[in-house]
Amino acid sequence: MTEIEYNMWMLQFKNKILPEKDPRYQVVKKVVTHLTESNKDIPGFSEFTWTIHVVEEPNINAFVLPNGQVFVFTGLLSAVSDINQLSFILGHEIAHVILGHAAEKASLMHFLDFFSLILLTMIWAVCPQDSLAVIGQWIQSRFQELLFDMPYNRTLEAEADKVGLRFAAKACMDVRASSVFWQQMELAKTLHNEPQLPEWLSTHPSHENRAEQLDRLIPEALKIRESCNCPSLPEFPLASLEMGNFLWDSPLQLREKLLLPNFGRAVKNDFLKIVMIFIKDECS
């Protein structure tokens, strides 16, 4: 099944795969190699041959197939601010493979399909009408999606965030950049007025909730990083960040201040609020 999926993706992207000499490919290769080398003591890592494919696509996305085929879209490379954020994202995707999430999800789907078949058979036995069977199947599929599929997917995503953060920590990355990435994504969505579905209607946690969860996990990840004898992270005193000057900064300066590694979450949230008020005032 994995080989079929791999061939399907390769067929779809056959004219969009970047050559290995492309600098963007080299960056991804460097990150994946560093992650895998730094975590080779973890069971499962050495079992895979991680093969990289960088796809010329504007979507902000990356995924790793269960056989170790890594796909990274150039849209993601444009969205991340540095190698620390990219390392966390790819660590997250690799975590899905190491944790066996694809097989775990397939097992759950088989169980739910079997349960659904029994339920629909019972409905048909009580009232053997085609129209009722169709309606019953539609209702059952919607309930399954809302009550099982989506919550389960969100759980897997949260687990991959946690493990991927540990992978990045063992690779001596600045794990504090992980939550900043999702705050950037939330800000970008707000700036572009993109519609946002409630989390319970999504297969992924909201950007805000992911950032909050990562903020809770970062202290533990920093301890892991320290135990691996990684170089100390730079400190940026918050006193040097004058909130009153934010509105006069250029977009690049605003972005740089948002990305300061110890730019605390409370300060970041205040900063985002100020930026949004400023933008609304300018547009009104």
Of 112, 171, 169, the closest CA to residue 144 belongs to 112
Q: For the residues of the chain, what is the DSSP string, one character each?
A: -HHHHHHHHHHHTTTTBPPTTSHHHHHHHHHHHHHHHHTTTSTTGGG---EEEEE---S--EEE-TTSEEEEEHHHHHH--SHHHHHHHHHHHHHHHHTTHHHHHHHHHHHHHHHHHHHHHHHHHHS--HHHHHHHHHHHHHHHIIIIIHHHHHHHHHHHHHHHHHHHHHTT--TTHHHHHHHHHHHHHHHTT-----GGGSSS--HHHHHHHHHHHHHHHHHHHHHTTPPPPP---GGG--GGGGGGS-HHHHHHHHT-TT--HHHHHHHHHHHHHHHHHHH-
Question: What are the beta bridge partners of residue 62?
Answer: 72
Rounded Cα gap, residues 68 and 90, in angstroms? 12
Q: Which residue in the block uniquely carries the two structure tokens 């996305």? A: 61
Under 8 Å between Cβ of 51 and 32: no
Which residues belong to the active site? 93
Rounded Cα gap, residues 245 and 192, in angstroms? 24
